[in-house]
Structures are given as structure tokens and as C-alpha cells.
Amino acid sequence: MEQLKTFFLEKSVKNVLDVGSGIGDFVKILNDVFGNGAKIVGTDPGDQWLIEARKRFSQDNISFERMNGEKLNFEDNSFDVVSISNALHHLKDIGETFAEMKRVLKPNGWIIVNEISDGELNKAQENQRMLHHFKSFVDRLHGITHSETYTPDQVLEIVTGNGVDVQLSFPHEKMKNPNFDELFLDEKIAQMESLLEELQGRPEYEKMESILPDFKERLNKYGFQMATQLMIVGQFK
């Protein structure tokens, strides 16, 4: 992640907090950017993600703790950098989470927000959005907070609206090209099928079932690629 490395080149970063770390995909990027001496703490409310993340990272400088972004169990002024990646659309309360991230940041600390966005997507990225919106729909039916993909403008509005002075922003491609690997695409189909299964017996089933054949056809034709992410770096005012 050269842009982040260049941005933080002359800045002293001793510790980093990643909110909503999942299995640690963004922790990997943070370790590449700051790993040379910096301590990185990933946090997530989901036990299944924490177990997976702890298996993936054995380095002494990386640890994971269970918590929600809305209530961070850290002292005020604890971290040089706080990040949140692809988790904004999962938050119950975005304002509270930003307030918490600000509280645990040291004065003049840095915030990094990375978020998949619904901007100019190619056909393979539209397939990722289709699956994401399917999943978020099913989660919402179960009462789980999960918004659809925000546009780049919405992401920027959320960040600036919560008091961040943006100093760097750029698009970030987690996957550079569409993936046509058969096993990979089968996995995506299985994900949608399993989500559909959860809707059995509900009035929404029929409407959602009609999406599956189109999704399969589109996957064969265009492949699957993560939507472009918007990376933002700033400081709280």
C-alpha cells in the first residue's frame, strides 16, 4: 500500500487500532505500512472472526480483542492511528463509533477509513454488489444492522460529517481483475444459495429466488471482483 506508506513516512506511529477487523484483511495492510515496530490491535464483536484472525497472525506485535466500535475498551488518548475498513455499513451507530475512535486517538492522531463503495463499477464488481446487497437484505430481515454499499460521496460525507479533516483519499482495488476461477465462483453461488435458504417460508423468498439465475449467468459471463474501495486518511478537527 504505497500511498499509505508514503503518507506516513515521516510520522511516528507506535500503535494502531483497527475497528471491525474481521479476519484481519486490513490488519495485514496495516502491518505492511506500520509493522516495523508498531503494535496493532484488531477489534471485532464477532467471535468467529476473532478465532480466524488469531489463527492467521502469529506475530507478537498483532493482537485481537472482542468489542463493538460503539464502545471501545481503551483509555483516552491511547493510539497514534485508528482505522475502520469495510465496517462502516455494519455499525449500529456511526456517530458513537467516530466519537469513540476520536476519544482513544492521541491528540493529532490519524484516522484511516477504508470502505467498499458504489461508484463506477465494472460488471464483475456489480456482481459483488449484488451478493452484498442480497446478504445485507437477509441480515436486515434478521434484525442485524447491515446497510447496502454507500456511494463514494456518502462515505466522504460520513467521514467529514463526523468531524474528520480529510488529508488524503484515493481508490483502492483489493482485487485488481475479475476472478473467473470455477471454485471461487461456485463459492459465491453457494453463499447466495445459503442466504436464500434462510428465507424459506418467508414472503420475501420468491422475489429473492428470482435473483439467483441472473447472478449465476452474470458470474459466468463477467466473473467476480470486489468493488472499488475508498481509502481516506485524516485527523479529527
Give me the residues that bind ligand SAM (CB under 6 A), please: 19-22, 25-26, 44-46, 49, 68-70, 85-87, 90-92
Query: To the nearest 10°, the Cα dihedral for 37, 38, 43, 48?
Result: -20
Q: Are 4 and 111 in contact (CB under 8 A)?
A: no
List, as own/partner pairs, every contact residues 55-58 make where C-beta atoms lie below 8 angstroms and the sequence separation is at least 24, other chains included: 56/23, 56/24, 57/24, 57/27, 57/31
- Nearer to ligand SAM among residue 91 and residue 121 (C-beta): 91
Closest approach of ligand SAM to the CB of residue 194, in Å: 17
- Shortest gap between Cβ of 173 and ligand SAM (angstroms)? 13
**Residue nearer to ligand SAM on the CB measure, 18 or 80:** 18
Cα(118)–Cα(25) distance, integer angstroms: 20
Q: CB 101 → ligand SAM: shortest distance, Å?
A: 11
Nearer of residues 39 and 146 to ligand SAM, judged by Cβ: 146
- Secondary structure letter of residue 228 according to DSSP: P
Residue with the CB atom nearest ligand SAM in the bound state: 22
Closer by beta carbon to ligand SAM, 20 or else 223:
20
The torsion angle over the Cα atoms of residues 29, 112, 157 and 94, rounded to 10 degrees, is: 100
Minimum Å gap between C-beta 228 and ligand SAM is 14
| Minimum CB distance to ligand SAM smaller for 38 or for 53 | 53
Q: Which residues pair with 109 in a beta bridge?
A: none
Contacts of 36 by beta carbon, 8 Å cutoff, 6+ apart:
none
